[in-house]
């Protein structure tokens, strides 16, 4: 069963905004992003420079592909793989007991450290990406549909930014909580 | 009928989006609050040496066994740069520190300070080839200067007096410490406010 095209448009636009913001932030301060990649201690040192270009550019590609209905399933697959990979990298470092590593994710929120809620957030995003994989059943769009798409995508992106900010806040709250 | 529904839907979406923005803004402000409140609790203990005051004296041993003196009158001033292996901005500023160590060599010694897991620190030290800098691990040093966020720098002059200090996020901010010292002000912000 393929989801309604309006749902797809709204989801795709929200994801495209999310990946674009992430990619632009990484590209605008590539040195800091390379250092963040280095902190994960997964990518070998020699490849970090290339990786620091490759990851944000892949993000941008996925974002553009998601926006165009013809390439959307492809873009969704690319985005899903990308998201799953970085989430795995976060989980690996958390298992290693390294929660003090900066995320390097790039978003509207303040500095983000690695945490399990971050992994949970990304897995939810992965699930939300699934309706974009099948080709949507075509139907003519009504004026109201455009309203739903615009409102829906903006709200989804806002909720994502809020969730990220709240996750980023958690370690700061832990720091000011009196020790028991 | 259609007009009614269109207006209702349009208004609802506008309100939903406005609410989402408001919630995000609130979450952000709460984050800022947590950040601001954190050092407040510490204020009750001690505020760390102010600009113009004498630095507390430390005699520490660096990673290579070198002895590192901070706060005593000496022929050279000190730039104590607090960093950590997991802080991306710190790594970005290492080349700037190298060039500062070169250009200011006549009167200044650059000291790197950190704390925590020594094995990780040594790896970082070797990886970024930091052998030319004294590198000390001391929790007390960071505590006495009230270092909250990294990278943080403290500039001491030859007499051991604190001349400038602050959170450093860019080359410009690091260089502004020296400008502040030359102008004899606490920070560039303070200077600009006076002007």
B10 touches A: beta carbon within 8 Å = yes
Picking from B12, B85, B92, the nearest residue to A32 by CB comes out as: B92
What value of ipTM does the predicted structure carry? 0.87
Residue ranges of domains in chain A? 5-176
CB contact under 8 A, B20 and A165: no
> How many Cβ atoms sit within 10 Å of the Cβ of residue B109?
20
Q: Give the pLDDT of residue B159.
A: 84
Asked if A157 and A14 count as a contact pair (C-beta separation under 8 A), the reply is yes
Picking from B12, B24, B92, the nearest residue to A158 by CB comes out as: B24
Stretch A165-180: mean pLDDT: 81
Q: Give the pLDDT of residue A99.
A: 81
Give the integer Cα–Cα distance in Å for B71 and B157. Answer: 9
- Rounded to whole angstroms, what are the CA distances from B79 to A18, A105, B19, B146? 40, 32, 47, 16
Pair of tokens at residue A12: 């795709």
Give the domain B58-194 fold.
Glutaredoxin (3.40.30)
Q: Give the pLDDT of residue B46.
A: 43
Residue ranges of domains in chain B? 1-45, 58-194
Q: Give the pLDDT of residue B134.
A: 85
Q: Give the pLDDT of residue B175.
A: 80
Nearest to B152 by CA among B81, B52, B55, B77: B81
Give the integer Cα–Cα distance in Å for A175 and B5. Answer: 49
Residue A120, pLDDT above cutoff 90: yes
Question: Which residues does A3 contact at the CB level (< 8 Å), separation at least 6?
Answer: A131, A134, A136
CB contact under 8 A, B20 and A159: yes
Q: Which residues are paired to B54 by β-bridges?
A: B161
> How many Cβ atoms sit within 10 Å of the Cβ of residue A41?
17
Average pLDDT, chain A: 90
Q: Give the pLDDT of residue B39.
A: 53
Find chain B residues with C-beta within 8 A of A144's C-beta: 5-6, 9
For chain A, the straight-line distance linking the first and the last C-alpha, in angstroms and rounded, comes to 52
Q: Give the pLDDT of residue B10.
A: 92
CB contact under 8 A, B17 and A31: no
At residue A180 the predicted structure's pLDDT band, cuts being 50, 70 and 90, is low
Secondary structure in 3-state letters for A102-146: ECCCCCCCCCCECCHHHHHHHHHHHHHHHHHCCCCCCCCCCHHHH
> A29 or A157, which is more confident?
A157
Q: How many helices (H) and strands (E) does chain B have?
A: 6, 7
Q: Give the pLDDT of residue B44.
A: 35
Q: Give the pLDDT of residue B136.
A: 85
- Rounded to whole angstroms, what are the CA distances from B16 to A73, A151, A156, A165, B20? 29, 8, 11, 19, 6
Give the integer Cα–Cα distance in Å for B94 and B102. Answer: 13
Question: Percent of chain A scored above 70 by pLDDT?
Answer: 98
Q: Give the pLDDT of residue B194.
A: 59
Q: What is the pLDDT of residues A92-117, one digit of tens each?
A: 999 988 887 888 888 887 778 899 99
Interface of A with B in 139-178 (CB under 8 A): 143-144, 147-148, 150-151, 154-155, 158-159, 161-162, 165-166, 168-169, 172-173, 175-176
Instruction: Check residue A135 and give left, alpha or beta (phi > 0: left; psi -120 to 50: alpha).
Output: beta
Mean pLDDT by 10 residues, chain B (195 residues): 88 95 95 73 52 81 81 84 82 84 83 82 82 84 79 84 79 78 65 61
């Amino acid at each position: 069963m393929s989801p309604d095209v309006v749902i797809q448009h709204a989801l795709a636009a929200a994801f495209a905004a999310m990946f674009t913001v992430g990619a632009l932030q990484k590209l605008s301060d590539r040195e800091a992003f390379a250092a963040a990649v280095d902190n994960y201690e997964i990518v070998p040192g020699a490849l970090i420079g290339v990786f620091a270009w490759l990851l944000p550019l892949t993000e941008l590609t996925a974002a553009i592909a998601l926006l165009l209905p013809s390439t959307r399933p492809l873009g969704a697959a690319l985005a899903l793989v990308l998201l799953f990979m970085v989430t795995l990298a976060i989980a690996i470092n958390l298992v290693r007991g390294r929660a003090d590593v900066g995320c390097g994710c790039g978003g509207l929120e303040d500095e983000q450290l690695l945490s399990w809620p971050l992994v949970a957030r990304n897995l939810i995003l992965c699930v939300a990406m699934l309706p974009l994989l099948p080709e949507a059943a075509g139907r003519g769009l009504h004026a109201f549909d455009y309203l739903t798409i615009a409102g829906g995508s903006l709200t989804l992106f806002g909720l994502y930014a809020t969730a990220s900010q709240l996750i980023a806040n958690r370690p700061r709250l832990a720091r000011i909580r009196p020790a028991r | 009928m259609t007009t009614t529904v269109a207006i209702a839907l349009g208004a609802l979406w506008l309100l939903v989006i406005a609410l989402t923005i408001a919630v995000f803004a609130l979450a952000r402000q709460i984050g800022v609050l947590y950040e601001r409140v954190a050092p407040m609790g510490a204020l009750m203990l001690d505020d760390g040496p102010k600009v113009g005051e004498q630095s507390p004296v430390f005699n520490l041993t660096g990673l290579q066994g070198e002895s590192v003196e901070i706060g005593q009158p000496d022929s050279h001033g000190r730039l104590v740069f607090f960093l950590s292996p997991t802080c991306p901005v710190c790594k970005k500023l290492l080349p700037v520190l190298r060039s500062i160590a070169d250009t200011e060599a006549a009167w200044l010694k650059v000291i790197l300070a950190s704390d925590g897991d020594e094995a990780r620190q040594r790896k970082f030290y070797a990886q970024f080839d930091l052998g030319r800098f004294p590198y000390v691990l001391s929790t007390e040093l960071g505590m006495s200067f009230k270092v909250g966020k990294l990278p943080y720098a403290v500039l001491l002059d030859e007499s051991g007096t604190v001349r400038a200090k602050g959170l450093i996020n860019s080359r410009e901010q690091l260089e502004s410490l020296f400008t502040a010292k030359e102008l004899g002000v606490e920070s560039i912000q303070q200077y600009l406010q006076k002007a």
